[in-house]
Copies of this chain bind each other. A is one copy, B any other.
Amino acid sequence: MEFTVEQIAQVIGGKIQGDASIKISKLAKIQEGDSNSLAFLSNPKYENYIYTTRAGAVIVKNDFIPKSEVKAALIFVEDPYTCFTALLEQYHKTMLWSRQGVEDPCYIGKNSTIGDNHYRAAFSYIGNNCTLGTNVKIFPHATIGDNVSIGNNVIIYAGVKICADTVIGNHVTIQAGAVIGSDGFGFAPQPDGSYKSIPQVGNVILGNHVDIGANTVIDRATMGSTVIEDGVKLDNLVQIAHNVKIGQNTVIASQAGVSGSTEVGKQCMIGGQVGFSGHIKLADRTSIAAQSGIMSSVTTEGAKLFGSPAFDARSYLKSYTVFRKLPQLMRTIEELEEKIISLSSEVK
Protein backbone atom coordinates (compact mmCIF):
# COMPACT_ATOMS: atom_id res chain seq x y z
CA MET A 1 0.00 0.00 0.00
CA GLU A 2 1.12 3.52 -0.77
CA PHE A 3 0.07 6.87 0.68
CA THR A 4 1.19 10.42 -0.01
CA VAL A 5 2.61 12.57 2.75
CA GLU A 6 -0.51 14.69 2.34
CA GLN A 7 -2.83 11.74 3.03
CA ILE A 8 -0.83 10.75 6.12
CA ALA A 9 -0.82 14.33 7.45
CA GLN A 10 -4.61 14.42 7.11
CA VAL A 11 -5.04 11.15 9.05
CA ILE A 12 -2.89 12.31 11.98
CA GLY A 13 -3.93 15.97 11.80
CA GLY A 14 -0.45 17.37 11.08
CA LYS A 15 0.96 20.35 9.14
CA ILE A 16 3.34 19.65 6.24
CA GLN A 17 6.62 21.38 5.44
CA GLY A 18 8.24 20.14 2.21
CA ASP A 19 6.97 17.95 -0.64
CA ALA A 20 3.41 16.79 0.20
CA SER A 21 3.31 14.45 -2.82
CA ILE A 22 6.10 12.11 -1.64
CA LYS A 23 4.90 8.49 -1.66
CA ILE A 24 5.21 6.47 1.56
CA SER A 25 4.96 2.68 1.68
CA LYS A 26 6.90 1.80 4.85
CA LEU A 27 7.48 2.82 8.44
CA ALA A 28 11.07 2.91 9.66
CA LYS A 29 13.42 4.16 12.37
CA ILE A 30 14.91 7.57 11.56
CA GLN A 31 18.43 6.09 11.27
CA GLU A 32 17.23 3.43 8.81
CA GLY A 33 14.68 3.48 5.96
CA ASP A 34 14.70 4.82 2.40
CA SER A 35 12.89 7.45 0.31
CA ASN A 36 9.58 5.59 0.65
CA SER A 37 9.82 5.42 4.44
CA LEU A 38 8.08 7.48 7.09
CA ALA A 39 10.02 7.98 10.35
CA PHE A 40 9.51 10.06 13.51
CA LEU A 41 11.61 12.26 15.79
CA SER A 42 10.49 12.43 19.39
CA ASN A 43 13.57 12.19 21.64
CA PRO A 44 15.88 15.25 21.11
CA LYS A 45 18.84 12.85 21.51
CA TYR A 46 18.13 11.58 18.01
CA GLU A 47 17.85 15.05 16.40
CA ASN A 48 21.15 14.66 14.52
CA TYR A 49 19.66 11.87 12.44
CA ILE A 50 17.09 14.17 10.87
CA TYR A 51 19.80 16.01 8.93
CA THR A 52 21.11 12.79 7.35
CA THR A 53 18.05 10.52 7.26
CA ARG A 54 17.15 8.82 3.98
CA ALA A 55 13.47 8.66 5.03
CA GLY A 56 11.08 10.45 2.65
CA ALA A 57 9.15 12.02 5.52
CA VAL A 58 9.53 12.49 9.27
CA ILE A 59 6.88 13.23 11.89
CA VAL A 60 8.21 15.92 14.27
CA LYS A 61 7.01 17.99 17.24
CA ASN A 62 5.12 21.21 16.62
CA ASP A 63 7.93 23.18 18.25
CA PHE A 64 10.77 21.59 16.25
CA ILE A 65 13.03 24.11 14.50
CA PRO A 66 15.67 22.56 12.21
CA LYS A 67 19.26 23.75 12.85
CA SER A 68 20.30 23.03 9.28
CA GLU A 69 18.86 21.71 6.03
CA VAL A 70 16.43 18.76 6.19
CA LYS A 71 15.78 16.83 2.97
CA ALA A 72 12.78 14.87 4.22
CA ALA A 73 9.27 16.27 4.20
CA LEU A 74 8.22 17.14 7.77
CA ILE A 75 4.82 16.53 9.38
CA PHE A 76 4.32 18.65 12.52
CA VAL A 77 2.12 17.20 15.32
CA GLU A 78 1.75 17.54 19.11
CA ASP A 79 3.09 14.02 19.96
CA PRO A 80 5.11 12.35 17.17
CA TYR A 81 5.62 9.05 19.02
CA THR A 82 1.92 8.46 19.66
CA CYS A 83 1.00 9.42 16.10
CA PHE A 84 3.65 7.12 14.70
CA THR A 85 2.64 4.10 16.78
CA ALA A 86 -1.02 4.70 15.93
CA LEU A 87 -0.09 4.61 12.24
CA LEU A 88 2.02 1.52 12.82
CA GLU A 89 -0.82 -0.28 14.49
CA GLN A 90 -3.28 0.71 11.82
CA TYR A 91 -0.92 -0.35 9.06
CA HIS A 92 -0.18 -3.67 10.72
CA LYS A 93 -3.83 -4.49 11.32
CA THR A 94 -4.75 -3.63 7.77
CA MET A 95 -2.00 -5.83 6.34
CA LEU A 96 -2.75 -8.70 8.69
CA TRP A 97 -6.49 -8.93 8.44
CA SER A 98 -6.84 -8.11 4.75
CA ARG A 99 -5.62 -11.57 3.74
CA GLN A 100 -8.63 -13.44 2.36
CA GLY A 101 -9.62 -16.33 0.14
CA VAL A 102 -8.59 -19.91 -0.47
CA GLU A 103 -5.39 -20.96 -2.21
CA ASP A 104 -5.19 -24.24 -4.07
CA PRO A 105 -4.65 -27.02 -3.01
CA CYS A 106 -5.93 -26.99 0.54
CA TYR A 107 -7.82 -29.65 2.48
CA ILE A 108 -10.99 -29.58 4.56
CA GLY A 109 -12.57 -32.74 6.03
CA LYS A 110 -16.19 -33.76 6.57
CA ASN A 111 -18.67 -31.74 8.64
CA SER A 112 -16.27 -28.84 9.10
CA THR A 113 -17.35 -25.22 8.76
CA ILE A 114 -15.47 -21.92 8.62
CA GLY A 115 -16.93 -18.39 8.94
CA ASP A 116 -16.64 -15.34 6.67
CA ASN A 117 -13.49 -13.46 5.75
CA HIS A 118 -11.29 -16.48 6.18
CA TYR A 119 -7.93 -17.11 4.56
CA ARG A 120 -6.89 -20.68 3.90
CA ALA A 121 -3.40 -20.93 2.40
CA ALA A 122 -2.26 -23.64 0.01
CA PHE A 123 -1.43 -26.85 1.90
CA SER A 124 -3.44 -25.86 4.96
CA TYR A 125 -5.32 -28.81 6.46
CA ILE A 126 -8.60 -28.89 8.40
CA GLY A 127 -9.82 -32.28 9.69
CA ASN A 128 -13.37 -33.52 10.33
CA ASN A 129 -16.06 -32.02 12.55
CA CYS A 130 -14.31 -28.66 13.04
CA THR A 131 -16.08 -25.36 13.70
CA LEU A 132 -14.12 -22.20 12.84
CA GLY A 133 -15.51 -18.68 13.39
CA THR A 134 -15.28 -15.55 11.25
CA ASN A 135 -12.06 -13.82 10.34
CA VAL A 136 -9.87 -16.90 10.79
CA LYS A 137 -6.56 -16.79 8.88
CA ILE A 138 -4.79 -20.10 8.30
CA PHE A 139 -1.27 -19.99 6.84
CA PRO A 140 0.53 -22.69 4.80
CA HIS A 141 1.13 -26.12 6.32
CA ALA A 142 -1.04 -25.45 9.36
CA THR A 143 -2.80 -28.64 10.52
CA ILE A 144 -6.11 -28.49 12.35
CA GLY A 145 -7.08 -31.94 13.62
CA ASP A 146 -10.55 -33.45 14.07
CA ASN A 147 -13.20 -31.98 16.38
CA VAL A 148 -11.40 -28.67 16.84
CA SER A 149 -13.38 -25.55 17.73
CA ILE A 150 -11.96 -22.10 16.95
CA GLY A 151 -13.55 -18.68 17.68
CA ASN A 152 -13.39 -15.42 15.72
CA ASN A 153 -10.40 -13.26 14.74
CA VAL A 154 -7.83 -16.01 15.06
CA ILE A 155 -4.49 -16.17 13.20
CA ILE A 156 -2.81 -19.53 12.78
CA TYR A 157 0.63 -19.09 11.25
CA ALA A 158 2.61 -21.45 9.03
CA GLY A 159 3.18 -24.99 10.20
CA VAL A 160 1.13 -24.74 13.42
CA LYS A 161 -0.29 -28.10 14.52
CA ILE A 162 -3.59 -27.95 16.39
CA CYS A 163 -4.30 -31.53 17.42
CA ALA A 164 -7.73 -33.14 17.72
CA ASP A 165 -10.33 -31.89 20.26
CA THR A 166 -8.62 -28.54 20.96
CA VAL A 167 -10.90 -25.59 21.85
CA ILE A 168 -9.70 -22.07 20.97
CA GLY A 169 -11.38 -18.76 21.90
CA ASN A 170 -11.53 -15.40 20.12
CA HIS A 171 -8.67 -13.01 19.26
CA VAL A 172 -6.03 -15.71 19.49
CA THR A 173 -2.71 -15.65 17.58
CA ILE A 174 -0.52 -18.74 17.26
CA GLN A 175 2.98 -18.24 15.85
CA ALA A 176 4.63 -20.59 13.35
CA GLY A 177 5.48 -24.15 14.33
CA ALA A 178 3.61 -24.22 17.68
CA VAL A 179 1.99 -27.53 18.68
CA ILE A 180 -1.29 -27.45 20.61
CA GLY A 181 -2.63 -30.74 21.93
CA SER A 182 0.22 -33.25 21.56
CA ASP A 183 -0.03 -36.27 23.86
CA GLY A 184 0.96 -35.69 27.49
CA PHE A 185 4.13 -37.41 28.68
CA GLY A 186 2.61 -40.14 30.83
CA PHE A 187 4.13 -43.61 31.19
CA ALA A 188 3.48 -46.32 33.78
CA PRO A 189 6.61 -48.25 34.88
CA GLN A 190 6.36 -52.01 34.27
CA PRO A 191 7.99 -54.80 36.36
CA ASP A 192 10.55 -55.47 33.58
CA GLY A 193 11.84 -51.87 33.67
CA SER A 194 10.00 -50.77 30.55
CA TYR A 195 7.25 -48.13 30.42
CA LYS A 196 3.72 -48.42 29.10
CA SER A 197 2.14 -45.28 27.72
CA ILE A 198 -0.94 -43.99 29.56
CA PRO A 199 -3.62 -42.94 27.04
CA GLN A 200 -3.98 -39.17 26.87
CA VAL A 201 -7.65 -38.59 26.05
CA GLY A 202 -8.16 -35.04 27.37
CA ASN A 203 -7.72 -31.84 25.34
CA VAL A 204 -6.35 -28.28 25.39
CA ILE A 205 -8.50 -25.18 25.92
CA LEU A 206 -7.14 -21.74 24.95
CA GLY A 207 -9.15 -18.75 26.20
CA ASN A 208 -9.66 -15.38 24.49
CA HIS A 209 -6.81 -12.97 23.67
CA VAL A 210 -4.24 -15.73 24.07
CA ASP A 211 -0.90 -15.45 22.19
CA ILE A 212 1.25 -18.55 21.64
CA GLY A 213 4.90 -18.29 20.52
CA ALA A 214 6.74 -20.07 17.72
CA ASN A 215 7.57 -23.77 18.28
CA THR A 216 5.92 -23.68 21.73
CA VAL A 217 4.24 -26.94 22.80
CA ILE A 218 1.09 -27.44 24.89
CA ASP A 219 0.20 -31.05 25.71
CA ARG A 220 -3.37 -32.29 25.97
CA ALA A 221 -4.60 -33.49 29.38
CA THR A 222 -4.57 -37.16 30.34
CA MET A 223 -8.25 -36.66 31.15
CA GLY A 224 -10.03 -33.31 31.35
CA SER A 225 -8.27 -30.25 29.93
CA THR A 226 -4.98 -28.38 29.89
CA VAL A 227 -6.24 -24.81 30.29
CA ILE A 228 -4.67 -21.56 29.12
CA GLU A 229 -6.89 -18.78 30.46
CA ASP A 230 -7.85 -15.47 28.83
CA GLY A 231 -5.06 -13.02 28.07
CA VAL A 232 -2.15 -15.42 28.62
CA LYS A 233 0.96 -14.68 26.54
CA LEU A 234 3.44 -17.50 25.91
CA ASP A 235 6.75 -16.76 24.20
CA ASN A 236 8.65 -19.12 21.85
CA LEU A 237 9.78 -22.67 22.69
CA VAL A 238 7.76 -22.83 25.93
CA GLN A 239 6.68 -26.25 27.25
CA ILE A 240 3.26 -26.68 28.90
CA ALA A 241 2.70 -30.25 30.09
CA HIS A 242 -0.58 -32.17 30.48
CA ASN A 243 -3.27 -30.96 32.87
CA VAL A 244 -1.48 -27.68 33.54
CA LYS A 245 -3.55 -24.54 34.14
CA ILE A 246 -2.14 -21.08 33.38
CA GLY A 247 -4.12 -18.24 35.01
CA GLN A 248 -5.47 -15.12 33.31
CA ASN A 249 -2.99 -12.55 31.89
CA THR A 250 0.06 -14.51 32.98
CA VAL A 251 3.13 -13.94 30.77
CA ILE A 252 5.72 -16.70 30.26
CA ALA A 253 9.03 -15.93 28.54
CA SER A 254 10.89 -18.13 26.09
CA GLN A 255 12.06 -21.67 26.88
CA ALA A 256 10.30 -21.88 30.25
CA GLY A 257 8.68 -25.21 31.09
CA VAL A 258 5.70 -26.11 33.30
CA SER A 259 5.44 -29.77 34.40
CA GLY A 260 2.27 -31.82 34.58
CA SER A 261 -0.77 -30.77 36.66
CA THR A 262 0.89 -27.59 37.94
CA GLU A 263 -1.38 -24.54 38.31
CA VAL A 264 0.12 -21.12 37.65
CA GLY A 265 -1.92 -18.20 39.05
CA LYS A 266 -3.15 -15.04 37.37
CA GLN A 267 -1.01 -12.04 36.37
CA CYS A 268 2.24 -13.91 36.98
CA MET A 269 5.50 -12.96 35.21
CA ILE A 270 7.62 -16.02 34.44
CA GLY A 271 11.17 -15.40 33.18
CA GLY A 272 12.93 -17.25 30.37
CA GLN A 273 14.15 -20.84 30.93
CA VAL A 274 12.29 -21.12 34.25
CA GLY A 275 11.27 -24.66 35.21
CA PHE A 276 8.36 -25.88 37.36
CA SER A 277 7.92 -29.21 39.13
CA GLY A 278 4.67 -31.00 38.58
CA HIS A 279 1.56 -30.93 40.82
CA ILE A 280 2.32 -27.57 42.49
CA LYS A 281 0.46 -24.26 42.67
CA LEU A 282 1.77 -20.77 42.08
CA ALA A 283 -0.12 -17.85 43.70
CA ASP A 284 -1.35 -14.89 41.64
CA ARG A 285 1.07 -12.10 40.66
CA THR A 286 4.21 -14.15 41.34
CA SER A 287 7.35 -12.93 39.52
CA ILE A 288 10.05 -15.48 38.76
CA ALA A 289 13.52 -14.51 37.57
CA ALA A 290 14.95 -16.20 34.49
CA GLN A 291 16.44 -19.72 34.87
CA SER A 292 14.85 -20.27 38.29
CA GLY A 293 13.46 -23.65 39.32
CA ILE A 294 10.16 -23.77 41.21
CA MET A 295 10.10 -27.03 43.13
CA SER A 296 7.23 -26.43 45.57
CA SER A 297 4.01 -24.45 45.77
CA VAL A 298 4.13 -20.69 46.27
CA THR A 299 1.22 -19.53 48.40
CA THR A 300 1.99 -15.82 48.99
CA GLU A 301 0.65 -13.53 46.27
CA GLY A 302 3.06 -11.14 44.63
CA ALA A 303 6.26 -12.95 45.65
CA LYS A 304 9.44 -12.39 43.63
CA LEU A 305 11.59 -15.51 43.36
CA PHE A 306 15.03 -16.49 42.07
CA GLY A 307 17.29 -19.56 42.21
CA SER A 308 17.07 -23.29 41.68
CA PRO A 309 15.33 -24.25 43.92
CA ALA A 310 13.92 -20.70 43.99
CA PHE A 311 13.38 -18.51 47.05
CA ASP A 312 12.93 -14.76 47.69
CA ALA A 313 14.79 -12.98 44.86
CA ARG A 314 16.50 -10.35 47.04
CA SER A 315 17.65 -13.00 49.49
CA TYR A 316 18.93 -15.08 46.58
CA LEU A 317 21.01 -12.18 45.29
CA LYS A 318 22.39 -11.52 48.79
CA SER A 319 23.38 -15.17 49.14
CA TYR A 320 24.86 -15.09 45.65
CA THR A 321 26.96 -12.04 46.55
CA VAL A 322 28.51 -14.06 49.37
CA PHE A 323 28.82 -17.09 47.05
CA ARG A 324 31.11 -15.03 44.83
CA LYS A 325 33.36 -14.35 47.85
CA LEU A 326 33.37 -17.94 49.16
CA PRO A 327 37.06 -18.73 48.45
CA GLN A 328 38.05 -15.60 50.39
CA LEU A 329 35.60 -16.48 53.18
CA MET A 330 37.16 -19.92 53.49
CA ARG A 331 40.59 -18.36 53.88
CA THR A 332 39.23 -16.05 56.59
CA ILE A 333 37.89 -19.07 58.46
CA GLU A 334 41.22 -20.87 58.20
CA GLU A 335 42.99 -17.81 59.57
CA LEU A 336 40.52 -17.64 62.43
CA GLU A 337 41.22 -21.30 63.22
CA GLU A 338 44.94 -20.61 63.38
CA LYS A 339 44.50 -17.54 65.53
CA ILE A 340 42.33 -19.48 67.97
CA ILE A 341 44.90 -22.26 68.17
CA SER A 342 47.67 -19.80 68.89
CA LEU A 343 45.43 -17.93 71.32
CA SER A 344 44.56 -21.13 73.17
CA SER A 345 48.22 -22.01 73.53
CA GLU A 346 48.91 -18.52 74.87
CA VAL A 347 46.09 -18.80 77.41
CA LYS A 348 47.21 -22.21 78.65
Contacts and interface: CB of A to CB of B under 8 A. Distances in A.
Given A140-B143, A177-B179, A107 B123 contact: yes
A237 B254 contact: no
A175 to B, nearest CB: 4
Contacts of A336: 333, 336-337, 340
A57 interface: no
Number of copies: 3
A251 B195 contact: yes
Interface string A257-275: 1010000001100001101
A82 B3 CA distance: 61
B176 A233 contact: no
Given A233-B185, A273-B257, A336-B340, A194 B249 contact: yes
Contacts of A319: 323-327
Interface string A65-105: 00000000000000000000100110111000000000101
B157 A158 contact: no
A321 B321 CA distance: 16
Interface in A184-240: 185, 187, 193-195, 197-201, 209, 211, 213-215, 217, 219, 223-225, 231, 233, 235-237, 239
Contacts of A320: 309
A339 B342 CA distance: 12
A62 B2 CA distance: 71
A161 B159 contact: yes
A332 B333 contact: yes
Contacts of A257: 237, 254-255, 272-273
Contact of A177 (B93, B161, B224): B161
B141 A125 contact: yes
Contacts of A301: none
A319 B308 CA distance: 12
Interface stretch (A8-16, A25-33, A44-52, A130-138): A25-33
A219 B194 CA distance: 25
A201 B121 contact: no
A182 B223 contact: no
Given A187-B233, A251-B187, A254-B185, A340 B339 contact: yes
B125 A140 contact: yes
Contact of A254 (B89, B241, B343): B241
Contacts of A125: 121-123, 140-141, 158
Interface string A106-136: 0100000000000001110100000000000
B158 A28 contact: no
B337 A332 contact: yes
B217 A236 contact: yes
Closest 8 CB pairs of A and B: A92-B199, A322-B326, A182-B214, A143-B158, A161-B176, A107-B122, A125-B140, A158-B161
14 contacts: A32-B224, A88-B201, A88-B223, A159-B159, A185-B233, A185-B236, A195-B233, A217-B237, A275-B291, A290-B295, A291-B308, A322-B330, A332-B333, A336-B337
Given A176-B179, A176-B182, 13 more contacts: A91-B199, A103-B107, A143-B158, A161-B214, A177-B179, A185-B233, A187-B233, A194-B231, A215-B237, A275-B291, A315-B327, A322-B326, A322-B329
